[in-house]
Chains A and B, each alone.
Chain A
Amino acid sequence: MADITMPKMGFDMTEGTIVRWLKKVGDFVNKGEAVAEIETDKVTIEIESFVSGTLSEIVSPAGSRTPVGGVIARTSDGASVAAPAAPAVPAAPVAPAAPVATPVAPVAPAAPMATVATSDVKASPIAKRMAREHGLDLGTIHGSGPQGRIVRDDVSAAIAGRPAVAASAAPVAPAAPVAPVAPVAPALPSAAAGSTVVPLSNMRRTITRRLTQSWQTAPHFYITMDVDMDAALTLRKQINAPLSKEQQISINDMIVKACAVALVAYPNLNASFVEEGIQLNSAINVSIAVALDSGLVAPVITNADSRSLGAVSRESKRLIGLARDGKLGAENLQGGTFTVSNLGMYGVTEFDAIITPPQCAILAVGAVRRIPVFKGESNDVVAANICSITISADHRITDGAEGAKFVGEIKRLLENPLSMLI
């Protein structure tokens, strides 16, 4: 008898969702073979068995969540398996990880009906696909086909009638145990007026959980500064002149590089608030927020301070490409110590971002605007390219004066861009 446990796939991962089981009870599983798909922070991964044996029990059905280290399945005739060790990333245990060896009871989904694993339900392929696309749990749908098979029309009816179902009976999707969010259900207006409830995708649920945690635990403060981008734009033009379109350096690449260089001098802004105190992270890993149709991801440019501007740009392009293709792995999403979020392309003047836990700060970047400014001793009015940048920082770690100096350093680097190339 051996246990398969929820692996720790990222330094801030506390629990994982079983998306689906790839093996069923009674299947023989070879060591290294994928047994289930799990979803962690913004990424879906296959987990492999670390032992050979017959799958004798599925403890955590599809759709349920299990803390890191918790038993998700058992195998017979194999040795006990612990979850693989977390990859070497800056350790920042925001929430205490469950002891790996202790069999922790899986977090049961709130709705008892939802414990029916989707794979055990008899449903036609199109019914399964429609349920998947609409985030419905097949275990909650009545099947009208032969031998109770769930067919297309059953799912159509469930989609059409969902508000009524949600209001009266158990929630359709397993309710997320998001810690201190106010209960939503009682506040909902009656489902009568044709309103529909779109269940949270796993990405949406992750965003909900993490940003709610950030908003409720990290006291945010904000500092905005205008940066004169003329020099940066001129330098960018010079750098890009001989480069092909695919190799061009973006303004965002320069801002990421400036942040990385500034963070070297301001370690508090590259820190994490942990129970024991303030953890000064050894690496400077800059997350870049990438908007997707389905939500938001923030892949990480590792060691951004020691990469050249060109290397930052190349890595950024690679990660954005992976994000758009839905191919980001856990390794691309973990270990960020600071985030840059840029809404300049939408014409935003300036905005305030929410800190990504367990980071200390996030820089919100607006559009580069061409506006008149006073320049020089004669106070000539000239055209300048101005970009407003706003830092959101965790007041538990740093204060306004340090935050202002940090933003000033970013401003100085961008206004004297050669200094960040040396």
Chain B
Amino acid sequence: MPVLTVREALQQALHEAMADERTFIIGEDIGHYGSTYGVTAGFLEKYGPERIRDAPIAEAGILGVAIGAAMAGMRPIAEIMSVNFSLLAFDMIINHAAKIYSMFGGKFSVPLVMRTTNGWTQLSATHSQSFDSMFAHIPGLKVVAPATPADMKGMFLAAMADPDPVIFIEHTLMYGVKGEVPEGDYIVPIGKSVLAREGRHITVVTYSRMVHLSLQAADILAKEGIEVEIVDLRTLRPLDMSVALESFKKTNRAVVVTEDWQSYGTSAEIATRLYEHGFDYLDAPIQRVNFREVPMPYAKNLEQQVVVTTDRIVAAIKKVLNRS
């Protein structure tokens, strides 16, 4: 199986999606510039300006066009360069994309995919955020955040095949992550979590880039004889807790790692589900590892204090296991 980067896997997925004539891509700098992270490089030349549409800096417009086109039977891909800019399109996403199917009695569905990225690295407070929980809070949306190149491709194609609006969350620090990717058209279903690593002492529940940091933490702890099991949720809505709960019932201890603020964040929902459905299996309070609760500083040394690091994951696991 070929080894690809996340960027290459997404490019394959987008090409597969473009094979459907109903599909077009709209977003800022996606055509002539080839997109900020290079994912749509060469697409304008191959598919032409009708289907690769450079948009003005008008996020509500990008989503509005995509929603209308989807209702009219097309399969649009709306790219929002950074999730921070999606705030300008929240009314379109929440009040239109997520609601139309139910408010029009099922007569229209909105089969659009919104690609966007989380991420940071000295982008400062307004460009380093994650709104995973804000999207995942909304009934009517599907929210996916894959971690591996294979899942990026397979879940993107699942999102394209889905009749509902799907928020597809990528990560600026993951485009270079490599992994084996099946060739051709294949699908990884939305709403199915998976084990990323087996272990018997503690369960780490996480998704997206934090899967990779958790795997690093597990490698470190393995040297001390601690076997960490890692659950990659892959989808935030609908949230599949079956794998995490099965693991938790075996290990009785859990750490939830998410790259957003702790209060009211995705880790709150995940930990609550573990408490609700696994209470009798709980052996220690669940720990969470997240951004520190401040607007992201620009200074590199301060930024490092806010973001999730492997060291912080290791420390949280040891705390739950009562090991120093």
- On chain A, the residues within 8 Å of B284 by CB distance are 124, 145-146, 149, 151
B54 shortest CB reach to chain A, Å: 56
Given contacts A125-B281, A126-B280, contact A152 B322 (CB under 8 A): no
Q: Which of B283-324 contact A (CB under 8 A)?
A: 283-284, 322
Q: Which of A77-134 contact B (CB under 8 A)?
A: 124-127, 129
A127 to B282, CA, bound (A): 8
A125 to B281, CA, bound (A): 6
Asked whether B283 lies within 8 Å of A152 as measured between CB atoms, the reply is yes
- On chain B, the residues within 8 Å of A124 by CB distance are 252, 282-284
A99 to B284, CA, bound (A): 47
| B279 interface residue (CB < 8 Å to A) | yes
A124 to B252, CA, bound (A): 10
Asked whether A146 lies within 8 Å of B322 as measured between CB atoms, the reply is yes
Asked whether B322 lies within 8 Å of A126 as measured between CB atoms, the reply is no
A20 shortest CB reach to chain B, Å: 15
Nearest residue (CB) in A for B249 is A126
Count, chain A residues at interface, CB 8 A: 11
Residue from A125, A144, A145 within 8 A of B280 (CB atoms): A125
Instruction: Give the one of B279, B280, B283 with max A CB within 10 A.
Output: B283
A149 to B285, CA, bound (A): 11
Q: How many residue pairs at the A-B interface have CB separations less than 8 Å? A: 28
- On chain A, the residues within 8 Å of B283 by CB distance are 124-127, 151-152
B249 shortest CB reach to chain A, Å: 9
A144 to B281, CA, bound (A): 18
A151 to B281, CA, bound (A): 11
Q: Determine chain B's interface SS by DSSP, over half rule.
A: loop
Interface size class of B (residues with CB under 8 A): under 10
- On chain B, the residues within 8 Å of A151 by CB distance are 283-284, 322
A134 shortest CB reach to chain B, Å: 14
Residue from A126, A144, A146 within 8 A of B282 (CB atoms): A126
Q: Determine chain A's interface SS by DSSP, over half rule.
A: helix
A146 to B279, CA, bound (A): 19
Nearest residue (CB) in B for A145 is B322
Instruction: Give the one of A126, A145, A151 with max B CB within 10 A.
Output: A126
- On chain A, the residues within 8 Å of B322 by CB distance are 144-146, 151
B1 shortest CB reach to chain A, Å: 40
- On chain A, the residues within 8 Å of B280 by CB distance are 125-126, 129
Binary contact readout A143-166 vs B (1 if CB under 8 angstroms, 0 otherwise): 011100101100000000000000
A125 to B254, CA, bound (A): 14
A45 to B134, CA, bound (A): 46
A125 to B252, CA, bound (A): 10
A124 to B278, CA, bound (A): 12
B112 shortest CB reach to chain A, Å: 43
A246 to B322, CA, bound (A): 56
- On chain A, the residues within 8 Å of B252 by CB distance are 124, 126, 152
- On chain B, the residues within 8 Å of A149 by CB distance are 284
Nearest residue (CB) in B for A128 is B280
Q: Which of A269-290 contact B (CB under 8 A)?
A: none
Nearest residue (CB) in B for A144 is B322
- On chain A, the residues within 8 Å of B281 by CB distance are 125-126, 129
- On chain A, the residues within 8 Å of B282 by CB distance are 124-126
A146 to B283, CA, bound (A): 11
A158 shortest CB reach to chain B, Å: 15
B177 shortest CB reach to chain A, Å: 36
A146 to B284, CA, bound (A): 9
A143 shortest CB reach to chain B, Å: 11
A394 shortest CB reach to chain B, Å: 46
- On chain A, the residues within 8 Å of B279 by CB distance are 125
Nearest residue (CB) in A for B251 is A152
Nearest residue (CB) in A for B280 is A129
- On chain B, the residues within 8 Å of A125 by CB distance are 279-283
A285 to B279, CA, bound (A): 44
A144 to B321, CA, bound (A): 11
Q: Which of B228-281 contact A (CB under 8 A)?
A: 252, 279-281
- On chain B, the residues within 8 Å of A126 by CB distance are 252, 280-283
Instruction: Give the one of A144, A149, A152 with max B CB within 10 A.
Output: A152
A124 to B285, CA, bound (A): 9
A128 shortest CB reach to chain B, Å: 8
Binary contact readout B156-199 vs A (1 if CB under 8 angstroms, 0 otherwise): 00000000000000000000000000000000000000000000
B124 shortest CB reach to chain A, Å: 38
A129 to B249, CA, bound (A): 13
A60 to B280, CA, bound (A): 26
A127 to B284, CA, bound (A): 10
- On chain B, the residues within 8 Å of A145 by CB distance are 284, 322
Q: Which of B21-45 contact A (CB under 8 A)?
A: none
Nearest residue (CB) in A for B279 is A125
A273 shortest CB reach to chain B, Å: 46
A47 shortest CB reach to chain B, Å: 25
Nearest residue (CB) in A for B275 is A125
Instruction: Give the one of A124, A127, A146, A149 with max B CB within 10 A.
Output: A124
A130 to B279, CA, bound (A): 13
A152 to B320, CA, bound (A): 13
B247 shortest CB reach to chain A, Å: 14
A138 shortest CB reach to chain B, Å: 14
A127 shortest CB reach to chain B, Å: 7
- On chain B, the residues within 8 Å of A146 by CB distance are 284, 322
B281 shortest CB reach to chain A, Å: 5
A286 to B251, CA, bound (A): 50
A151 to B283, CA, bound (A): 6
A317 to B280, CA, bound (A): 34
B77 shortest CB reach to chain A, Å: 46
A125 to B248, CA, bound (A): 13
9 A-B pairs besides A125-B279, A129-B280 with CB distance below 8 A are: A125-B283, A126-B252, A126-B280, A126-B281, A127-B283, A129-B281, A144-B322, A152-B252, A152-B283
7 A-B contact pairs sorted by A residue (CB < 8 Å): A124-B283, A125-B283, A126-B281, A126-B282, A145-B322, A149-B284, A151-B283
* Nearest 5 A/B pairs, CB to CB: A152-B283, A124-B283, A125-B282, A129-B280, A126-B283
